Amino acid sequence: MSTPEVGDLRTGERAETTEETADVAVVGAGLAGLVAARDLDRAGLRPVVLEARDRVGGRTWNRPVPGGTVEAGGQFIGPTQERLAALADELGVATFATYHEGRTRVDVTGGGLAFKGARRVLAELERMAAEVPPDAPWTADRAAEWDARTFHGWLAGAGEPDASGVLRMLTTAVFAAEPAELSLLHVLAYIRSAGSVDLLTEVAGGAQERRFAGGSHELSVRLAARLGARNLRLGAPVRRVRQGPDGVEVAADGVTVRARRAIVAVPPAIGDRIEHDPPLPGGRAQLHQRMPPGSTIKVSCLYETPFWRDEGLNGGLLRDRGPITVTFDNSPPGGDRGVLVAFAQGDDARRLARLPAGARRAAVLDVLGHHFGERAARPSGYLETDWTEEPWTRGCFGGNFGPGGWTRYGPLLREPSGLVHWAGAETSAVWMNYMEGAVRSGERAAAEVAAALTRP
Amino acid sequence: MSTPEVGDLRTGERAETTEETADVAVVGAGLAGLVAARDLDRAGLRPVVLEARDRVGGRTWNRPVPGGTVEAGGQFIGPTQERLAALADELGVATFATYHEGRTRVDVTGGGLAFKGARRVLAELERMAAEVPPDAPWTADRAAEWDARTFHGWLAGAGEPDASGVLRMLTTAVFAAEPAELSLLHVLAYIRSAGSVDLLTEVAGGAQERRFAGGSHELSVRLAARLGARNLRLGAPVRRVRQGPDGVEVAADGVTVRARRAIVAVPPAIGDRIEHDPPLPGGRAQLHQRMPPGSTIKVSCLYETPFWRDEGLNGGLLRDRGPITVTFDNSPPGGDRGVLVAFAQGDDARRLARLPAGARRAAVLDVLGHHFGERAARPSGYLETDWTEEPWTRGCFGGNFGPGGWTRYGPLLREPSGLVHWAGAETSAVWMNYMEGAVRSGERAAAEVAAALTRP
């Protein structure tokens, strides 16, 4: 298989529609779709991947900014994220430790006592999460009860009112959604899916522990290069999937692919855009209505140097009010340039989005200046990525179930619809909504299809 | 304006795309879209209505069945539904009283005591609902608190555990969703929007009081006939709305309409299917992700005569368990034929949908036979309409907000997006999700557009 330059893959729109045949049509060139394509190829099946955007990577994305490139989407890798680590090894993408030496800035009402209260609540959540089977949260003994209330409602009864600010901060940092929007069962399933609260929230020892040299986006870029231009079409949003007795016809802008099966690897919340013939079953269609992603604005600020390190700061900030609640030192390895990444999440992101650009920037830099000094308020480069504004994503980090969702629609997450299989980070029982989950979902969907098509 | 036969309006798919110009492109030929078109025409503005289906009427639908026609969608009109009544008057569509003489069959654990407890709970809900401004539920003093919990969670604390079956039955009858899926604030806003619990739930004195001669669908059929074939395209799903500085270009299968403004009158949950250029703001896009409609299977059973009337029964059934929880006598006026209509709603509809057709029918008829006698189990005609299976609806009766929705996305429901205005039953402050709300939303959107386009 040839390995063209990535630039060659940018095919853009076409006036004419070409027809192609493949063994499997894969919808979406995020990590899930690209990993599925890799595994299909290994199984001797030819995939064709159709991607709406003019780039690969989905919710991972290297964006240029004066002075360099910043990671605008998912970027971390941590312990137990084994399939993601294996993928990076395989592709020769190195990882390095997230800079975490020195003090984290903390600005939380109640200080240490608030954290102590939060820890007690989180320990209780972990005990409950242990009762949730990760591959079938709807079968937990208390699933109906936990799915009938919001996380907010449960927190209100948890007996630690002073910890509410910290717990809200952690919730929005993990889900990009507010406790009021989430089913308690979703929070428990999520903890179980990751393994523990610490694995979700920590830098050292948690999901934020390491980063990818060149950015996580590099994984998708290399997968795409290996896949080859012949098997990947960019700028080709899929509009319709037709199923016949022996195969599928997947119609995208500019190209129609006839294949034996399809794998749809896009977030459930945008799944309704694809017309299916025959129509999808009602339950599957309603699942697509019930996993809204949260709201995030990720802001990258560039500096000549990571000057905060000289002052004993690690660049991290934990804050229990908006617009910015969490920051990290996101400098490239070596530290010859400084990058702070700041997150507005949940309601903070929604409020920030309503401000004009100048006021948004001022509000963000005000927080950074306050906690990291005047220099932090004068970055040489500044880039916001509001994932709700991205037409092919419309929210981050991933789809969340509100109350009632898991017990009614959870069983349908991975259930194929005829010749159509489902992938994407939301469908993973392990590290759901993380890059690890995306990789696992692609591997799982490819294995389903390979088993069906190579059966003796 | 000519008034062609309705048959003439069925244009179907076309191989070629025609171009049309109009003052306003209206997306969706349900009641909201057709009423908007009527009002635009009256204001001297030419509308063109684009409809995905090969029929008008949206969630109202006359379906043929051996022995006659049955109403498969919204069908009732009740007190205070003034704009709907005015529309029927204007179109010469008569109404008649829902048959309600004699006894209602009741099969509820706890019987009268359960209803007594439910009444106390409902009175408390009405008191709370009085604090919710119908046109801005998010501004209620306790909006944040009420929107942060499920209706289920509130009911669990309402101190009437014996009434839970009745309250769940009423909830699913009104929302087609379970208490666990609904924000408490949504339930309160809904009660306030209709005016009272009795107005929502009663036959005499409530929203089920009267019916339309020939079916509610007749309203849309007559509006469409008056609009004229020139101004209505069926079989024309809208795929893309482009906005320029002076107008919009609305691209549907087979036809592209250039107009000065657009009104989109489809349920929010299917709004994400239409691509917008420039893309919709993030908040609007996320609203579309957060109003999932409930699940309903409406079953019509036809008989030679409404034989139950002879036994002093009114054909109504209230039952606190599935698969069927509610029935009505849905016979045509005059009583020369008998029709019972039976509803499976919420989880009952979802469970019923998973059975094979024969088992579904047997389960429904078992309930009818048990409560209305052996003859009820042997209908001469039988028709199910599962609204989750309808590709252009995907759920009924209307979109519901789960926790967190109203306070975050409610303010966007009626906010125009540039030259695109929003209609549909979900957008109405009065009788939200009812035909009355659809009519009002069409009138409101048309008034917005007329004010903008006829400004001196």
Q: How would residue B4 be classed by pLDDT, with cut points 50, 70 and 90?
A: very low
* Model confidence band, residue A180 (pLDDT cutoffs 50, 70, 90): very high
Structural domain total, chain B: 3
Residues 6+ apart with CB under 8 A from B95: B77, B85, B88, B210, B211, B212, B213
Same domain assignment for residues A159 and A194: yes
Task: Select from A142, A147, A152 the residue whose CB has the most chain B CBs within 10 Å, as the one to mutate to test that interface.
Answer: A152
Is the separation of the CB atoms in B378 and B364 below 8 Å? no
Q: Is B421 found in the same domain as B387?
A: no
pLDDT digits (tens, 9 = 90+) for A68-123: 899 999 999 999 999 999 999 999 999 999 999 999 999 999 999 999 999 999 99
- B379 and B448 inside one domain: no
Q: Which pLDDT band holds residue B213 (cuts at 50, 70, 90)?
A: very high
B383 with B306, same domain: the answer is: yes
B242 in a structural domain: yes
Residue B65 belongs to some domain of the structure:
no
Domain boundary among A166, A201, A236: A201
Cα separation, A340 vs B152, whole angstroms:
43
Mean pLDDT of B167-186: 98
Lookup: tokens for A116:
């102590």
pLDDT tens across A17-33, in order?
999 999 999 999 999 99
**Any idea which residue has 């099966």 for tokens?**
A261
Q: B15: pLDDT confidence band, cut at 50, 70 and 90?
A: low
Residues B380 and B320 in one domain: yes
Interface of B with A in 296-335 (CB under 8 A): none
pLDDT band at B368 (very low <50, low <70, confident <90, very high): very high
Q: Given the DSSP bridges, would you call strands A103-107 and A248-252 parallel, antiparallel or unpaired?
A: unpaired
Whether A411 is covered by a domain: the verdict is no
Whether the pLDDT of residue A392 is over 80: the answer is yes
Banded pLDDT at A182 (limits 50, 70, 90): very high
Query: What CATH number should be reported for the domain holding residue A195?
Result: 1.10.405.10
Asked if the structure places residue B64 within a domain, the reply is no
List CB contacts (< 8 A) between B353 and chain A: 282-283
Residue A363 has pLDDT above 50, yes or no: yes
Range of the domain at B125: 112-201
Q: Evaluate if residue B12 carries a pLDDT over 60.
A: no
Query: What is the per-residue pLDDT for B67?
Result: 77
> pLDDT tens-digit profile of A189-239?
999 999 999 999 999 999 999 999 999 999 999 999 999 999 999 999 999
* pLDDT given for residue B11 in this prediction: 39
When pLDDT is cut at 50, 70 and 90, the band that residue B85 belongs to is very high
The length of chain A, given as a count of residues: 456
Assess whether B318 and B390 both reside in one domain: yes
Q: ipTM value of the model? A: 0.95
Asked if the C-beta of B400 comes within 8 angstroms of chain A's C-beta atoms, the answer is no
Tens of pLDDT, residues A152-167: 999 999 999 999 999 9
Reported confidence tier of residue B334, pLDDT bands at 50, 70, 90:
confident
Up-side HSE of residue A192: CA atoms within 13 Å toward CB? 23
Residue A15: predicted pLDDT: 58
**CATH code, B31:** 3.50.50.60
Q: Does pLDDT of B241 surpass 60?
A: yes
Selected residue of B181, B238, B415 to mutate for chain A interface (largest A Cβ count, 10 A): B181
Q: At what angle do helices B184-194 and B111-129 cross, to 10 degrees?
A: 80
Looking at the domain assignment, is residue B74 inside a domain? no
Asked, for residue A104, whether it belongs to a domain, the answer is no
- Is the pLDDT score of B231 beyond 50? yes
pLDDT per residue over B118-145, tens digit each?
Answer: 999 999 999 999 999 999 999 999 999 9
CATH number at residue A383: 3.90.660.10
Give the H or E element holding residue A381.
Answer: strand A381-386
Q: Which pLDDT belongs to residue B66? A: 84
Mean pLDDT of B343-363: 98
Looking at residue B7, what is its pLDDT? 35
Asked if A269 and A352 sit in the same domain, the reply is no
Q: What is the dihedral of CA B124, B128, B129, B133, to 10 degrees?
A: 170
pLDDT of residue A334: 84
Q: Is residue A116 part of a domain?
A: yes
Decide if B290 touches A, using CB distance below 8 A: yes
Question: Looking at A145, A171, A201, which one is the last position of a domain?
Answer: A201
Query: Are A275 and A331 within one domain?
Result: no
| 8 Å CB contact of A289 and B285 | no
- Under 8 Å CB-to-CB from A256, ≥6 apart: which residues? A17, A18, A19, A20, A249, A250
Q: How far apart are CA A256 and CA A259, in angstroms?
A: 10
What are B33-46's pLDDT values in tens digits?
A: 999 999 999 999 99
With beta carbons under 8 A apart, name residues in chain A contacting B138.
none
Q: Whole-number mean pLDDT of chain A?
A: 95
State whether B305 and B385 are in the same domain: yes
B312 and B275, same structural domain? no
Q: Are A233 and A276 contained in the same domain? A: yes
Interchain proximity A388–B177, CB inside 8 Å: no
B295/A282 Cβ within 8 A: yes
Chain A residue numbers with beta carbons less than 8 Å from the beta carbon of B156 are 148
Q: How far is B280 from chain A (nearest CA, A)?
A: 8
Q: Enumerate the β-bridge partners of residue B243.
A: B248
What is the pLDDT, as a whole number, of residue A217? 98
A133 in any annotated domain: yes
Binding-site positions of A for FAD read: 51-52, 238, 426
* Residues A314-342: tens digit of each pLDDT: 999 999 999 999 999 999 998 789 999 99
pLDDT at B419: 98
Residues B377-393 pLDDT 10s: 999 999 999 999 999 99
For residue B275, the cross-strand partners are B240
Residue A177, chain B, CB below 8 Å: the answer is: yes
Does A231 share its domain with A260?
A: yes
Cβ contact (<8 Å) for A403 and B147?
no
- Mean pLDDT of the region B440-445: 99
pLDDT-derived band at A5, boundaries 50, 70, 90: very low
- Residues 135-154 of chain A with CB under 8 A from chain B are 144, 147-150, 152-153
